[in-house]
Each structure stands twice: as C-alpha cells, then as structure tokens.
Amino acid sequence: MKKRGLFHYSAIYSSGINPKGFHPSQLKFYILLLPLAALMLLPIIFIFSNAFKPPDELFAFPPRFFVINPTFKNFSDLFSTMSTSGIPVSRYLFNSIVIALVTILASILVSSTAAYALSKLNFKLKKTIFSVNTIALMFVPIAVTIPRFLIINGLGMIDTFWVHILPALAMPVGLFLLKQFIDVIPNEVIEAARIDGASDFQIYRRIILPLIRPAIATIAILTFQATWNDAGISSLYINKEGLKTFAFYLSTLTATTSTGANTVAGQGIAAAAALILFLPNLIIFILLQSQVMSTMSHSGLKG
Amino acid sequence: MQTSLSQEFELEVPKENKRNSGFQHWLKKEGSAYSMVSMYVILFLIFIAAPVVVAGLLSFTNFDTIQFPRFIGLKNYITLLTQDDIFMKYVLPNTLQFAAIVGPGGYILSFLLAWILAQLPKLPRTIFALILYSPSMTSGVAMAVVWKTLFSGDQTGYLNSFLLGLNIIQEPIQWLQSPQYLMVIMILVTLWSSMGVGFLAMLAGLLDVNPELYEAARIDGIKNRFQEIIYITIPSMRPQMLFGAVMALVSTFQAGAIGVVLSGSNPTPQYAGQLIVNHIEDYGFLRYEMGYAAAVSVVLLIMVLLLDRLAVNLFSSEDYL
C-alpha cells in the first residue's frame, strides 16, 4: 500500500511542472526545444568561431561557418593596433572595465538604500515615489535622447567620466526588483533589531544587505549589461577619444569595414573584439544565474 | 520700538522652538528614510523625469539648438499629422508593423518557451534557459559584426552562399540594403533576442505556481494542458505576466535602432526599416530640428503609455476572467 503510494507520487513529480527527473512525457518538449535552441545558438557560436579564424578562412569562398585552424592572431592584432586617433585598444577596454565596476557598485548602493526605505520605512512620499517608479518601468530612454542630451549638456557633463555612470544609476527595474525582494523579509526581524537599539542605517547594513544578495547579484548583472555593452553614451556625449568605451571602439570598426577601406585587417579584429565584448556577459550570467532566478520569483507586478 | 521688538521676539521664541522640535521630530522619524531615497530620487528626476518634461515643453517650440526655443503652439504636431509624408507613409506603418509582430510575438514566444522549460527537470531547464537567454545578453554593437557577415550582400555572404548552394536563389541578394528584406530581418533578429528579463520572470513565476492547484483542477475536471494554462497557470502568475508584458513593450521600442545598425545608414534604404526612434534621431541630430523631434518623442511616449494601459487591463488583479 505504502509502496504504491510512493510510486504514484514519483510519477506525478517527474511529469508536469518542475519535475524531479526524466519522464517519457517530456520527450516531446525536447524534440521541440533542441532544434530551436540549436538555431538560436548559431549566431552565438559564430561569434566564437569567427574570432579564431585566420584571414584566409575569414575570406574563404565558399564561406565556412566553423573555424578549421583556430588562431589567436586576431586578438594579438586587436591589441597591437591603434584606433585611427592614436589611442591603444587597451585604453578603451580599461575605460569599459572601470566604468562597469564603478557603476555596478554605485548602482547597488543607490538602489538598495532606496529600495529598503520604500519597502520597510514609513514616510510621507513613500507610495508616490514607488508608483512613479512603477510607471517609469516602461520608460523608453531612447525616446527622449534629445532632451536628455540637452540636460546633460546643460549640466556640463559632456566629456566627463560621470556621464557614463550617473544616468545609468537611475534604473527603475533595479529599484523595483530590489524593493519586491525586500518586501518578503519579515517585519519582525527588523522590529527586533530596532528594539535592540539599531538605527535604520545599521539595520540596512547588518540585516537587509546580507539577506538580499540574490537581488543584488541581479542588479549587478543588469547594470553590467547596460554599461558594458553601451556605445551610445560615448558617441553622443564624449568627444575626447581617451574617455570612450570598448563597445564604442567596436562600433567604429564595423563602420569602417563596411566602406571597404580596411576590410581585410578590420574583419579579423572586429570578430575578436565582438567576442571580448560578449564573453563577460555570458560568464557573469552563468556564475549568478541561480541568484537571478530566485530574484525573478518576486518580480510580479500588480496592475 | 525696542520693547515691541523684544515683545515680538519673546513671543516668537517659543513658537520657533516648537517648530524646531517639530522639525527635529520629523527628522528623527522620517529623516533617515528621506536620506536613503534621496540619491535615487535626485538621479531619477534629472535623467528620467526631467527629459520627459523637457520633451513635452520643447514639442511646442521651434528650436534649432542655437537660438532660444520659440513658442509655436501646436504647429509641430499639426505638421507631423498633416505634412510629414515620410512619417505617415513609412515611419508610422513600419513602427506599427514592427511593434505588432515583435511585441506580442516575442512575449508569447517567451511565455511558451518558459512554459516548456518548466516541464523539464532542473539541469536541462537551466541549460536551455541559458541558451535562450543568451541572445538578449548580446549588444547591438557586437551583433552588427555577426549580422553583417551572415547577411552580407555578395556571394561570399553566409546566407547567400547557403541558398545559392541549395539552388533556392540564382544570384546573391542584398539582404540588408533591399527594402523588401530589411524589415523581415529586423523582426527576426529582434525576436531572436526577445527572451530577456521578462522571460526569466515568467519562468520563475511558472515554477512558483502551487502544484496543489493543478491537482485540484484535475479533480474539478480540467482535461488537458491547454485548459490548465488558461484556467490555472496564467491566472495564478498574473503579476509575472504583467511584468513580462511591460518588459516586452519596452524592449520592442528600445530595439528601434536595429534597422540603422543593420543597414548602416539613417535613413534606412528607401525608409524600409525606418522606425519612430530613427525618425527622432534623424530630425534631432541630423537636421537639428529639436522642437519637431521632441513632438515625435511625445507621440512615441504616449503610444507606449497606451499600450502599457492595455497590458495592465489584461492582467490587472480585478475583473479578471
């Protein structure tokens, strides 16, 4: 009797939502997913394959998708060339790394303090701020490029390091996800600390921060993707070549290769640069994916 | 004089004191909360709220970036609706077509794929989720390299070479320069990268649905998986569905630059891939008609707002089903 019950349960839990193991009923999903995933993966594989192709394979006819004799030549070419304005490529890469790190740290600080206040503290404008932020979730920055440019220009932020960082810190999705995550922390924990004499800042540092690590990891990823991949800020707001980002450098490579001026050398280093630009996104996401998923459980938006 | 002043002074002192203690009381009660939100609020006001307000104000002016903006009332909007042939003939229909396919298409695709993934055990689910999510991690800049090579217009282009080899086409096609293919490629490329944050949120939502609900539904006579999705799954993950819809909406309009990236020119060949976002840039940064560009921005913001209302109505907590 007991045994039958167990068997019955294991059958249920290996089919349906979130099964514990393999079940023949899952086969149809694999048959559907495998070709689709393979097709979607092709451009990603191409980034890898292309970056390691020697020149004769890059321009082979008929073109070959996969690399045959992989080489690091494109990468050494990339770092030995200078941009047209005489800035070494490593400078762009250095800028991108510094900008990404500073923005991630600042974004975590700015969003998590605000999220804690909006979730657990009482003040008059609390509801207003959160609902304005929720409306701003659907803000499309690209739509207001021009007034944004005028404001940044008016603030004298053109050609400064700050223009890379400060606009990226106002991230409605980040604040929203953090606030939803903090909502789940029971109020009793905070009340107990307050009775013990902890101030709001101490509660934030000692209790909230350690508990919201998954949400912080998620904010870090979203901020990283937004800043690391961005070429727009460098092209709109930065005239000094030494302050521009790696993503911007890559965009100049594709622009020159299309005119055919330095096609042969250009395509190899563009392929290498594309891989360097993409790879950190992938690695960071793989490392933090379980944290992201647990944050997303709280992402619900009530209309 | 002296006495009256000191009298006033004496009268004022306790009042001031009282106000002061009120302020101190407020500072003690709400001060730390305000100091914690202030950084975010200031940045939000400068970089999100102010641009929207400025766009609204500039849309009623004529502004060439050199002279001070001159108020011209509704003229920009009237011009947009009555005289901007390119907007009416290409930009608006293109945008509607692009948004109508990419928005709901990407959203439904995200949901269905998330649903399928939720039917698999943890390890394969994680691997497939990573594969499906990875396109949304790529940047337009890095992918420009890939798309330009894959869709290259001569016979050495990968797609041309592949189709020529299969004898499907007889001569190479200028994929990214020809008006009839550019829009299709834009839509496919954007759909390819549409499994983003919203997709992850819906996957997490699917996994969090209480399994007892499904058992109860089976007893109540739910017959197949489709009914299960309609009557159990979607209603119990409505908040995630709404979050996913808002994210799909934003990424659809945010993807507007793709046509210019692919074809390498603004305006795109024969305006085939011209979307509202490109139209704004065309007028703002190429022709320096900032007032007019602002009016187009306002129209775009209103479009996004209306579509968002639609999503909220679909998934709002009240009056559902």
C-alpha–C-alpha distance, residues A101 and B113, integer Å = 33
Query: In this complex, do A254 and B145 lie within 8 Å of one another by their Cβ atoms?
Result: yes
**Separation of first and last alpha carbons in chain A:** 48
Task: Tell me phi and psi for residue A114, to 5 degrees.
Answer: -65, -40
Task: Tell me phi and psi for residue A82, to 5 degrees.
Answer: -105, 155
C-alpha–C-alpha distance, residues B256 and A291, integer Å = 31
Torsion region of A156: left, alpha or beta (phi above 0 gives left; psi -120 to 50 gives alpha): left
Q: Which run of H or of E encompasses A245?
A: none
Between residues 67 and 106 of chain B, which touch chain A (CB distance below 8 Å)? none
Q: What is the pLDDT of residue A11?
A: 43
Chain B: residue whose CA lies nearest to A142: B254
Residues 6+ apart with CB under 8 A from A92: A83, A244, A245, A246, A248, A249
Please give, rounded to a whole number of angstroms, the shortest distance from the CA of A103 to a CA of chain B: 13
Please, what is the Cα angle at A240 between A236 and A244, to 5 degrees?
Answer: 65
Task: Give me the residues paired with residue A88 across strands.
Answer: A82
SS3 B60: coil
Hey, what amino acid is at A98?
A: V
Q: What is the mean pLDDT of residues A106-135?
A: 93
- What tokens were used for B66? 């050199």
- What tokens were used for A219? 């904010």
DSSP A95-134: HHHHHHHHHHHHHHHHHHHHHHHHHH---TTHHHHHHHHH
Please, what is the Cα angle at B113 between B107 and B116, to 5 degrees?
Answer: 140
Q: Which of B32, B40, B160 to mutate to test the interface with A (most CBs of A within 10 A)?
A: B40
DSSP B231-284: IIIHHHTHHHHHHHHHHHHHHHHHGGGHHHHHHSSSSPGGGTT--HHHHHHIII
Q: What is the pLDDT of residue B195?
A: 92
Q: What is the pLDDT of residue A65?
A: 87
User: For B29, which DSSP code?
Assistant: I
Q: What is the pLDDT of residue B118?
A: 92
Alpha helices by DSSP H, listed for B119-178, are 122-137, 140-150, 158-165
User: Looking at per-residue confidence, does A189 or B16 come out higher?
Assistant: A189
Range of lowest pLDDT (A180-194, A252-266, B26-40, B96-110): A252-266
User: For A68, which DSSP code?
Assistant: S
User: For B171, which DSSP code?
Assistant: S
Between residues 206 and 225 of chain B, which touch chain A (CB distance below 8 Å)? 206-209, 211, 214
pLDDT band with cut points at 50, 70 and 90 for residue A257: very low
Q: What is the pLDDT of residue B58?
A: 92
Query: In this complex, do B161 and A63 lie within 8 Å of one another by their Cβ atoms?
Result: yes
C-alpha–C-alpha distance, residues B100 and B301, integer Å = 16
C-alpha–C-alpha distance, residues B243 and A299, integer Å = 7
Tokens 């041309």 -> residue: B160
Task: Tell me phi and psi for residue B71, to 5 degrees.
Answer: -70, 125
User: Number of CB pairs < 8 Å for A and B?
Assistant: 324
In contact, A89 and B182? CB cutoff 8 Å:
no
Using CB atoms within 10 Å of the CB of residue B77, give its burial: 0 to 12 exposed, 13 to 18 middle, 19+ buried: middle
Residues 6+ apart with CB under 8 A from A128: none
Range of lowest pLDDT (A19-33, A251-265, B250-264): A251-265
**pTM given for the model:** 0.86
Query: In this complex, do A274 and B145 lie within 8 Å of one another by their Cβ atoms?
Result: yes
Between residues 123 and 182 of chain B, which touch chain A (CB distance below 8 Å)? 124, 126, 128-135, 137-150, 155-158, 161, 165
Chain A: residue whose CA lies nearest to B207: A18
In contact, B183 and B273? CB cutoff 8 Å:
yes
Predicted confidence pLDDT, tens digits, chain B (321 residues): 444 444 444 444 444 455 567 788 877 778 888 999 999 999 999 999 999 999 999 999 998 878 888 899 899 999 999 999 999 999 999 999 999 999 999 999 999 999 999 999 999 999 999 999 999 988 887 888 888 888 888 777 888 888 888 888 888 888 888 888 999 999 999 999 999 999 999 999 999 888 888 888 888 888 888 888 888 889 888 888 999 999 999 889 888 888 888 888 878 888 998 999 999 988 988 888 999 999 999 999 999 889 888 888 888 755 433
Hey, what amino acid is at B281?
A: E
> In the predicted model, what is the mean pLDDT of chain A?
86
DSSP chain A: -HHHHHHHHHHHHTSSSS-SS--GGGHHHHHHHHHHHHHHHHHHHHHHHHHT--HHHHT-SS--SS-SS--SHHHHHHHH-B-TTS-BHHHHHHHHHHHHHHHHHHHHHHHHHHHHHHHH---TTHHHHHHHHHHHTT--GGGGHHHHHHHHHHTT-TTSTHHHHHHHH--HHHHHHHHHHHHTS-HHHHHHHHHTT--HHHHIIIIIHHHTHHHHHHHHHHHHHHHHT--HHHHHH---GGG--HHHHHHHHHHHHHHTTTHHHHHHHHHHHHHHHHHHHHHHHHHHHHHHHHHHTT-----
Q: Considering only CA atoms, give the Rg of chain A.
A: 25
Q: How many CA atoms, within 13 angstroms, populate the side-chain half-sphere of residue A94?
A: 9
Using CB atoms within 10 Å of the CB of residue A35, give its burial: 0 to 12 exposed, 13 to 18 middle, 19+ buried: exposed
Task: Tell me phi and psi for residue B14, to 5 degrees.
Answer: -65, -35
Statement: residue A54 has pLDDT above 80: yes
Nearest to A50 among B52, B149, B211 (CB): B149
Task: Give me the residues paired with residue B70 across strands.
Answer: B62
Q: What is the pLDDT of residue B220?
A: 85
Query: In this complex, do B203 and A19 lie within 8 Å of one another by their Cβ atoms?
Result: no
Q: Which of A10, A13, A15, A17 to mutate to test the interface with B (most CBs of B within 10 A)?
A: A17
